[in-house]
Amino acid sequence: MGLLEKIQSPADVRRLTPTQTVELAEEIRGFLVRTVSRTGGHLGPNLGVVELTIGMHRVFSSPKDTFVFDTGHQSYVHKLLTGRQAFGDLRQRGGLSGYPSRAESEHDVVENSHASTALSWADGIAKANVVRGLNDRHVVALIGDGALTGGMAWEALNNIAAGHDRRLIMIVNDNGRSYAPTIGGMAHHLDTLRTTRGYESFLEWGKRTLRRSGPPGRLAYDALHGLKKGIKDVVSPQGMFEDLGIKYVGPVDGHDVDDVERALARAKAFGAPVLVHVITEKGRGYSPAEQDVADRFHAVGQIHPETGLPVAPSRFGWTKVFADEIVAIGHDRPDVVAITAAMLAPVGLAPFEKAFPARTFDVGIAEQHAATSAAGMAFAGLHPVVALYATFLNRAFDQVLMDVALHKAGVTFVLDRAGITGSDGASHNGMWDIAMLRIVPGLHLAAPRDEATLRAALRTAVDIDDAPSVVRYPKGALGDPMPALDTLDGVDVLARETGTGTGGAGARRRVLVVGIGAMAGTALEVSTALAAHGVDTTVASPTWVLPMPSALVKLAGEHDLVVAIEDGIAEGGAGALLGEHAALARVTTPVRTVGLPTEFLDHASREQIVVGHRLTAADVVRDVLDDLSRG
């Protein structure tokens, strides 16, 4: 029986000897490689924080001391040390979440996996502890260096610096990377701290020298500290944090449990806000991850643990189409520039950056800045393309509204992983964008259904120079092409089918089936099934859903029932908007909206979510036939 199997709570970790902590770290690394290679998940980040997390649990007492993880993907080791070792179904329905989860454990606090929020959470918890007189506990926030590129982290630091009575420890896990190498002034500052160790080395040398020469005389003591003061700003630039009033400890070797424990114990004893700067290596102890320069091991699917290669090669996907088309657009349009928020490769902008390095801007984990900076670029004569995961645009809604739309800035937002993403859970499902963006005046939004419509939508979007444009597409592989039968004022008609069955009460009724984006394939399946029940059907797929096409409203009036299918939230989504426009146009045809509920979805596969929320073609057909039988 290994050490890991005996760990049921942090108390078990604190009872280990120093030698056993080293053994435990190696066991954990082997466990993570074996299990995550089977389930997929965030492998590289967790391999890098093994000793650091062990040290945290040996110095502090969770849950009395509150641990907050930013962004949460680096919490696998924390799960193991708090008694959660059933990793066989990690990120699968009914299994462990890939992020902290209050439902799983009292040791988990913050479930939101968006970056740069942990310091604000920690500040609020520490303030509450002071107000309630709970002076026997600490708040420990683990934040990656990449998350320090986000503005919220600095808003929090500004407030934390004023709280000298708060027992708050901020651990900066500095591995020089988020999804990709960390960029910007903060990264350069941490680089300096990481590589400049002369100050601490000088102090240690001075202490050793004085010890060897006997009790130091006043002259030697004054000389040492005078020299210390003179060189501090040269060789120890941690002054930025200390000038804010935040005690700085580090840099610390994050792969030496003893060093980590000593640093955290010093921070704990200080009794006020402390920043502990810990140097780690992403992917530590796993050769394929250590040698990776493209961050393929930040998050992995199923891989062969020996080689790190995928079990099943990924199919040609939506992101690859965008990556290819945006480069082609870049060759045609020298005014087109690309912006990413620390996710150059995941959103498909790496080829553009290679082709046009001077026209590619990685702003760090700072979506708000990305949007407003893009507005400035548009004012100055460029057409920016801002590529994000759909769920991360939520963070920049005010900037889209007030900086881009209000100023009629020609900025294109490309939203990868729109709709259901599945295994990463509530914070990653890109289900909010249509309902959120439909209230932005003048905004254009496209939901392409296949490769051809994605390429065409991108071309159209970058031609819009007086309003924001958005192109959204799902996660994963592309389906088969779905060519239009004909086009009515911009609305593609994919099929018209005449009912062939006897069908009962629904026979000879006309149903318009509207498939939004990735749900166009489902709409075609619904149409075929309804026709078999004697129902005449038309399938429409509007690539551009905002503004709502008047041709789609007119088409709705030519049918007895409209069913609109989307993988965003139904309340306030594209189907609801069609119903509102139909009512305004005095179209009396009822509109059935089929989409996701307005609630946070637990982690599960896309298929499980589709089935669980009755978005399958069979479910839609049953509901439509029920509507027709009643009408």
Mean pLDDT by 10 residues, the chain (631 residues): 88 93 91 83 83 94 92 86 86 80 87 78 88 91 82 84 85 71 53 51 50 50 47 46 76 90 92 90 69 59 61 72 96 96 90 96 90 93 95 92 95 94 75 94 97 97 98 90 92 93 62 95 95 94 96 95 94 94 94 91 82 90 90 67
User: pLDDT at position 261, please?
Assistant: 92
* 367 annotated active-site: yes
Could you give the CA distance from residue 464 to residue 475 in angstroms, rounded to a whole number?
25
Structural domain harbouring 385: 318-472
- If asked whether residues 216 and 267 sit together in one domain, one would say no
Binding residue numbers for Mg(2+): 145, 175
Contact status, residue 468 vs residue 400, Cβ threshold 8 Å: yes
DSSP per-residue letters across 376-407 = HHHHTT-EEEEEEEHHHHGGGHHIIIIIIITT
* 290 annotated active-site: no
273: cis peptide before it, omega within 30°? no
CATH number, domain of 361, equals: 3.40.50.970
- 591-596 vs 486-488, strand pairing mode: unpaired
Contact status, residue 421 vs residue 113, Cβ threshold 8 Å: no
Contact status, residue 428 vs residue 393, Cβ threshold 8 Å: no
623 in a structural domain: yes
Burial class (CB in 10 A: 0-12, 13-18, 19+), 539: buried
453: cis peptide before it, omega within 30°? no
Whole-structure pTM value: 0.78
> Which of 437, 472, 507 represents a domain boundary (last residue)?
472
Neighbours of 332 (CB within 10 A): 9
Name the CA dihedral angle for 120, 126, 132, 135, rounded to a multiple of 10 degrees. Answer: 180
User: pLDDT at position 343, please?
Assistant: 86
Residue type, 11: A
558 in a structural domain: yes
Instruction: Locate the DSSP E strands across 62-155.
Output: 66-70, 139-144
- If asked whether residues 55 and 180 sit together in one domain, one would say yes
Could you give the CA distance from residue 80 to residue 8 in angstroms, rounded to a whole number?
8
User: pLDDT at position 96, please?
Assistant: 81
Among 548, 322, 345, 477, smallest CA distance to 414 is for 322
State whether residue 51 is helix, strand or coil. helix
- If asked whether residues 270 and 358 sit together in one domain, one would say no
User: pLDDT at position 120, please?
Assistant: 84
Contact status, residue 133 vs residue 109, Cβ threshold 8 Å: no
- If asked whether residues 36 and 106 sit together in one domain, one would say yes
User: pLDDT at position 287, please?
Assistant: 64
- If asked whether residues 452 and 495 sit together in one domain, one would say no
- If asked whether residues 519 and 625 sit together in one domain, one would say yes
Among 196, 214, 257, smallest CA distance to 56 is for 257
308 in a structural domain: no
How many structural domains is the chain composed of? Answer: 4
DSSP H or E stretch at residue 486:
strand 486-488
State whether residue 72 is helix, strand or coil. coil
Neighbours of 386 (CB within 10 A): 29
Alpha helices in 161-256 (DSSP H): 185-195, 198-212, 218-235, 239-243
Catalytic residue among 79, 91, 177, 282: 282
- If asked whether residues 503 and 402 sit together in one domain, one would say no
How far from chain centre, in Å, is Cα 261? 30
Residues 6+ apart with CB under 8 A from 115: 70, 71, 144, 146, 147, 150, 178, 365
The residue behind tokens 């409209």 is 562
Cα-based distances in Å from 34 to 37, 74, 89, 302:
6, 17, 13, 11
- If asked whether residues 520 and 604 sit together in one domain, one would say yes
- The tally of CA atoms less than 13 A away on the side-chain side of residue 232 is 11
DSSP H or E stretch at residue 546:
strand 544-546
- If asked whether residues 37 and 65 sit together in one domain, one would say yes
Could you give the CA distance from residue 148 to residue 160 in angstroms, rounded to a whole number?
14
Phi, psi at residue 384, to the nearest 5°? -80, 145
Contact status, residue 26 vs residue 261, Cβ threshold 8 Å: no
485 in a structural domain: no
Contact status, residue 573 vs residue 557, Cβ threshold 8 Å: no
Contact status, residue 352 vs residue 343, Cβ threshold 8 Å: no
Contact status, residue 54 vs residue 178, Cβ threshold 8 Å: no
Binding residue numbers: 73, 113-115, 145-147, 175, 286, 367
Residues 6+ apart with CB under 8 A from 128: none
Instruction: Locate the DSSP E strands across 95-138.
Output: none
The residue behind tokens 């009629």 is 408
- If asked whether residues 41 and 168 sit together in one domain, one would say yes
DSSP H or E stretch at residue 583:
helix 574-584
User: pLDDT at position 235, please?
Assistant: 42
Sign of the CA dihedral 505, 509, 514, 520? positive
How far from chain centre, in Å, is Cα 60? 28
> Which of 472, 502, 537 represents a domain boundary (last residue)?
472
582 in a structural domain: yes
- Locate 405 and state its tokens: 């739309």
Residues 6+ apart with CB under 8 A from 535: 499, 503, 506, 507, 508, 509, 510, 511, 624, 625, 628
Residue type, 304: H
Catalytic residue among 395, 438, 449, 475: 395
Residues 6+ apart with CB under 8 A from 73: 42, 45, 46, 98, 99, 113, 299
Could you give the CA distance from residue 437 to residue 569 in angstroms, rounded to a whole number?
12
User: pLDDT at position 198, please?
Assistant: 46
Strand ordering across the sheet containing 336-340: 360-362, 336-340, 383-389, 412-416, 469-472, 444-446, 544-546
Residues 6+ apart with CB under 8 A from 54: 13, 21, 24, 25, 77, 81, 257, 260
User: pLDDT at position 483, please?
Assistant: 95
307 in a structural domain: no
Binding residue numbers for thiamine diphosphate: 73, 113-115, 146-147, 175, 286, 367
Phi, psi at residue 88, to the nearest 5°? -65, -25
Could you give the CA distance from residue 415 to residue 403 in angstroms, rounded to a whole number?
18
- If asked whether residues 136 and 206 sit together in one domain, one would say no
Catalytic residue among 367, 451, 525, 566: 367
271 in a structural domain: yes
311 in a structural domain: no
Neighbours of 372 (CB within 10 A): 21
User: pLDDT at position 189, please?
Assistant: 52
- If asked whether residues 494 and 596 sit together in one domain, one would say yes
User: pLDDT at position 33, please?
Assistant: 85
* 395 annotated active-site: yes
